[in-house]
Amino acid sequence: MTDTTVHRPATGAGFALPAPAKLNLLLHITGRRADGYHDLQTLFVLLDHGDTLHFQADPALTLTCDHPHLPVDDDNLVLRAARLLRDATGCQRGARMHLQKRLPAGGGVGGGSSDAATALLGLNHLWQLNLGLDQLATLGLRLGADVPVFVRGRNAWAEGVGERLQAVDLPPLWFLVVDPGVAVSTARIFGDGELTRHTPAITLPASLGAATFEALLNNGHNDCEAVARRLFPPVDQALEWLQREAGNARMTGTGACCFARLAGAQAARDLKRRLPENWTAFVARSTELSPLHEALATLRAKQHPGPAFNDNAT
Ligand SMILES: C[C@@](CO)(OP(=O)(O)O)[C@H](O)COP(=O)(O)OP(=O)(O)OC[C@H]1O[C@@H](n2ccc(N)nc2=O)[C@H](O)[C@@H]1O
Ligand SMILES: Nc1ncnc2c1ncn2[C@@H]1O[C@H](COP(=O)(O)OP(=O)(O)O)[C@@H](O)[C@H]1O
């Protein structure tokens, strides 16, 4: 379905699942592979802010979206994920899906990848396919390098093109994320002649206590930042403002969004209030387990309540 004017979420006996944003707290490019892809080291953190995908059983496979400019054609990652799942399992069932888009497309917060992961896990549930997370993550990688981390739902250290994941425990973190309002093409950043591609690989400390975590972040950086700043002046302005106001300003992924870590919710909200006029930003908190996985667990518990306690048992 390509009608972007339909603003009606699915109703009836359906369910809705979150598609959270991610930040790359650091992003080091350690090399370039023979196939042109880049080897990375990155620290993914999942946030409590994102899109929402609504599901309803239906004979046809359709998608609508409340975003006026995001195409809901065959290229949309939600429909690509649904078709991939059907092809991989032979399932012939359909679904009526509606995407409530809050994350900026091409913003480096992984919106499209997260939508794809939520589609994979949501349809696996709706169609009762019972695929495990390993199988879904393998399928997800075919849609994009960032999909597996959303499928697995844990903050993670990633290597390779982002598919070699190691779950990490992080302290609770608060961020102000500024959206400079430009869509950055990942391929354009990786194709730039001035991109630094040879940051020495580091070894993740065995345990990420508060001090080692701070050292890791302080010694880390985002190799894509210099190129994005040069190509997209709004990214440069966002980083300058965040650095001046909060320190520790950094870009996420290949851009465009930039963030600063704040001491808590109040500090993040206070900084948001000082945002220059006409700028867009959101406050977000890190999550230990993805809101997608939390919501799926709640859904399963409602549909398959455990055995009730028998008060008469002796
Ligand atoms: C680098 C990251 C960090 O999170 O940037 P963001 O996209 O989130 O900003 C991601 O891993 C991106 O993943 P994703 O957005 O899924 O990228 P893909 O669709 O797989 O790749 C888009 C294009 O970028 C280039 N590419 C991508 C990933 C990579 N490790 N090396 C590359 O050279 C390739 O030219 C590829 O065709
Ligand atoms: N559901 C979707 N949400 C956002 N973008 C999508 C979606 N489906 C396909 N895309 C395409 O994927 C591109 C990258 O989207 P996104 O994942 O939001 O960027 P990033 O990886 O920078 O966070 C967009 O520019 C858009 O063309």
In angstroms, rounded to a whole number, what is the distance separating the alpha carbons of residues 247 and 12? Answer: 47
Ligand 2: residues with CB < 6 A are: 70, 75-78, 105-113, 115, 183, 186, 253
Residue 22 annotated in active site: yes
Helix (H, G, I), strand (E, B) or coil at 22: strand
Indicate the pTM of the whole model: 0.93
- Which backbone phi and psi does 309 adopt, to 5 degrees? -65, 140
Check 51, 115, 146, 179 and give the catalytic one: 146
CA distances from 87 to 43, 81, 82, 92 (A): 32, 10, 9, 9
Atom of ligand 2 at shortest range from CA of 105? 18
Q: What pLDDT is stored for residue 308 in this prediction?
A: 55
In DSSP notation, 42-54 reads EEEEEEEEEEEEE
Phi-psi region of 89 (alpha: psi -120 to 50; beta: other; left: phi over 0): alpha
In angstroms, rounded to a whole number, what is the distance separating the alpha carbons of residues 243 and 101? Answer: 28
Whether the Cβ atoms of residue 195 and residue 231 lie closer than 8 Å to each other: no
Which amino acid makes up residue 215? A
Residue 174, strand partner residues: 262, 285
In angstroms, rounded to a whole number, what is the distance separating the alpha carbons of residues 20 and 101? Answer: 11
Residue nearest to atom 4 of ligand 2 (CA): 112
Residue 52, strand partner residues: 18, 100
Give me the domains of the chain, ranges plus CATH numbers.
15-301 (3.30.230.10)
Whether the Cβ atoms of residue 65 and residue 99 lie closer than 8 Å to each other: yes
| Both tokens assigned to 65 | 């979206």
Q: What is the pLDDT of residues 98-125, one digit of tens each?
A: 999 999 999 999 999 999 999 999 999 9
pLDDT, averaged across the chain: 93
Q: What is the pLDDT of residues 125-157, one digit of tens each?
A: 999 999 999 999 999 999 999 999 999 999 999
| Both tokens assigned to 231 | 């190509």
Q: What is the pLDDT of residues 251-310, one digit of tens each?
A: 999 999 999 999 999 999 999 999 999 999 999 999 999 999 999 999 999 887 766 554
| Both tokens assigned to 254 | 């290949």
Atom of ligand 1 at shortest range from CA of 253? 9
| Both tokens assigned to 133 | 């997370």
| Both tokens assigned to 116 | 């794809």
